[in-house]
Amino acid sequence: MLVDSHCHLDFPDLAEDLDEVVARAHRAGVGHMLTICTHVTRFERVLATARRFDTVDCTVGIHPHEAGTEPETAAETLMEMARDPKVVGFGETGLDFFYEHSPREAQARSFREHIRAAREMGLPVIVHTRDADPETIRILEEEQAKGPFPGLIHCFSSGPELAEKAVEMGMMISVSGIATFKKADALRDTIRAVPLDHLLVETDAPYLAPVPKRGKRNEPAFTVHTAAVVAEVKGMAPAELAEATTANFYRLFTKARRPASMAAE
């Protein structure tokens, strides 16, 4: 069984035929999906999506793109929302200095509140970082100094320094379809060096469809293509990679449970 550790099932691109999207994932061997919140004001929609399926959990959080327009949300509010059994983590949050849709200061404040919630509840924080590796490392190290917290770098596309720092802090590295792209040799080299017990796989659906589905709408079933490339990079069989990354997911997301409908898979 594979786990798609990061997708957006509430987005309109997928919501229009969601039952079949989830069914296709199951048929492909993707037995659990984590649908990620990007707007705290849309959390109820994300939660409703997760409640529809035994094989879907969710998070609560504010994407860095939205940090300047969503309500400024304290850790206490995030934690209250996370008391629902279906909510297993915080985010996605972090820093995006490529698009800078939100002021950097707002992104950093929101990032730190998500981390504080993760620390206090012991649930993972899902980190988005783009063109902001030094600043992301600094915030993670400063917050780790206040007390440890679980987390992951999602859709990893950075260099070895961030990967090394994240692993040193006990965080996971989540690999998306970017790793299958022809020109992603440097990323594959970085993934090769990441310890197996720190790896997850994801789609970030509906975005970033992997080869051979590139250019199409991405969906959780396509996790198998990314996992196959990661397995090749790590020099192991796809089944071994699936077993390892699935075990990593449940070790990190301690509140998540293997869906009963997929337990025998």
Question: Which residue has 């707002």 as its token pair?
Answer: 106
The first and second tokens of residue 96, run together, are 């995006």
Q: Greatest CA span in the chain, whole angstroms?
A: 47
Cα(261)–Cα(265) distance, integer angstroms: 8
Predicted local confidence at residue 253, as pLDDT: 98
Which residues define the annotated binding site? Answer: 6, 8, 92, 128, 154, 204
Rounded to whole angstroms, the Cα distance separating 39 from 68 reads 11
Structure confidence at residue 70 (pLDDT): 98
Q: Summarize the annotated binding site for a divalent metal cation as residue ranges.
A: 6, 8, 92, 128, 154, 204
First to last CA, the chain: 6
State the angle between helix axes of 185-193 and 160-168 in degrees (0 to 180), rounded to the nearest 10. Answer: 20
H helices present in 122-159, as ranges: 133-146
Q: Pull the structure tokens for residue 198.
A: 């720190």
pLDDT of residue 265: 45
Q: pTM here?
A: 0.97
User: What's the average pLDDT block by block, 10 residues per block, for the chain (265 residues)?
Assistant: 98 95 98 98 98 98 98 98 98 95 97 98 98 97 98 97 98 98 98 98 98 97 98 98 98 94 56
Three-state DSSP class for 151?
Answer: strand
Sheet containing 2-7: which strands, arranged edge to edge? 2-7, 30-35, 56-60, 87-96, 125-130, 151-153, 172-175, 199-201
User: What is the CATH superfamily name and number for domain 2-260?
Assistant: Metal-dependent hydrolases (3.20.20.140)
